[in-house]
Amino acid sequence: MGYPTKVQLIQRQNSEQWYINFPAALAQAMEFSRGEIVEWIIEDRGQLRLRRLQPPPSPKKKRRDSSTTSSSSGKTARPPAAGSASPSGRKPSR
């Protein structure tokens, strides 16, 4: 989801300053800290990238139970039990 933001210019007698403010929701989602140092990188004339010099550690991912697997439907599927029917539902022919 994008957050439209206006570029602001403050012109003074001997200088000018450009500002881009972060929406609060974006800053909170990224867990920025007051006074945090960031670096702007020009990708091209249409993209400007912001890089954190000291990003916070990533949250630990939940460990999944190895006895279950996820299907494309998002439901949890259990592996077939030993001695169960073949995947087609038919008994193997001899």
Average pLDDT per run of 10 along the chain, which is 94 residues long?
90 94 90 93 95 86 60 55 53 57
pLDDT value of position 66: 56
Map out the domains of the chain as residue ranges.
22-56
What does the pLDDT read at residue 22? 86
Distances from the Cα of 80 to the Cα of 7, 62, 63, 67, 76, angstroms = 58, 24, 22, 11, 13
| pLDDT at residue number 60 | 75
